[in-house]
Amino acid sequence: MKEGKFQKLVNIMETLRSEKGCPWDKEQTRESLKSFIVEEAYELLEAIDNNDPEKIKEELGDLLFQILFQAQIANEKREFNIYDVIDRITGKMLSRHPHVFGEIALNSSEEVLQHWDEHKKREGKLKESIMEGIPDALPALLKAMRVQERASRVGFDWERPEDVFEKVEEEIEELKNTVKEGRREDVEEEFGDLLFSLVNLSRFIGVNPEDALRKTVSKFIRRFRYIENRAKEKGKDLSSLTLQQMDSLWEEAKRLE
């Protein structure tokens, strides 16, 4: 029954791309769909952040449909189909989890990650650098975290959270000095160093920096919209409020959360 539901969705995708299908769907290419993949992934993240099971279910379906879309385009090019995709990931998961499906004993997450790296090397990956395979298109904060995680696996890392706090403070001072001295060409570099050190700190305190910043941005938007709505209720334009008045409404929004 469940397999039939999946095949029904595959058939729908094929029909949409067929001669008698949807004009818009037939026009799409791999490249034109890239932004939709990113958009659906972030909508799923938002649903997860909001802990909304119904929305998570919906967004998982939307993301799945984008995967089927890409697979159908590949099928039309006679490259592969969705079942080849499933076969590939099935084989990968079996080979990367011999401690579950085989005889190897791996007793910690660290051992599992080391095994994965060794397996990738046997597959011909990570030939020149442990940094290979980190997508260039990742958001910068997430990419920084992945880079640092890879370096940490071979021992290139801080030992204590206190050391990372000191590094963050050092980078703040360097940025202050650069701004104070008017060395504009170095400001971007020093600011980047500060962000990189903050990502390092996030790993040590168990926080995903991309998630943390995304949630903070959502919180800011939510509180700012409260200010806008309160100003409208009072019949005032937002620009007519003083900073003190807006700050007061901001604190009011915080108390109501």
What is the overall mean pLDDT for the chain?
A: 91
> pLDDT value at position 107?
78
- Distance between CA atoms of 78 and 157, rounded to whole angstroms? 46
- Distance between CA atoms of 175 and 188, rounded to whole angstroms? 9
Whether residues 171 and 139 fall in one domain: yes
Whether residues 221 and 199 fall in one domain: no
Range of the domain at 218: 211-256
Whether residues 167 and 222 fall in one domain: no
Q: Which of 41, 74, 95 is the last residue of a domain?
A: 95
Query: What is the tens place of the pLDDT at every residue in 109-157?
Result: 877 877 777 766 666 666 678 888 888 888 999 999 999 999 998 889 9
> pLDDT value at position 250?
95
Residue 233 lies in a domain: yes
Taking residues 223-234, what's their average pLDDT? 94
Whether residues 219 and 167 fall in one domain: no
* Residue 143 φ/ψ, nearest 5 degrees: -65, -40
Whether residues 225 and 148 fall in one domain: no
- Distance between CA atoms of 115 and 101, rounded to whole angstroms? 14
Query: What is the tens place of the pLDDT at every residue in 43-72?
Result: 999 999 899 999 999 999 999 999 999 999
Apex 223 CA angle, 195 and 242, nearest 5: 100
The pTM of the full predicted model, rounded to 2 decimals, is 0.69
Residue 111 lies in a domain: no
Residue 106 lies in a domain: no
Residue 107 lies in a domain: no
Whether residues 17 and 85 fall in one domain: yes
Whether residues 77 and 29 fall in one domain: yes
User: How many residues are present in the chain?
Assistant: 257
Query: pLDDT above 70 covers what percent of the chain?
Result: 95
Query: What is the tens place of the pLDDT at every residue in 169-203?
Result: 999 999 999 999 988 889 999 999 999 999 999 99
- Residue 156 sits in a domain whose CATH number is 1.10.287.1080
Whether residues 180 and 220 fall in one domain: no
Q: Both ends of the chain: CA-CA distance in Å?
A: 44
> pLDDT value at position 203?
95
Q: How many domains does the chain have?
A: 3
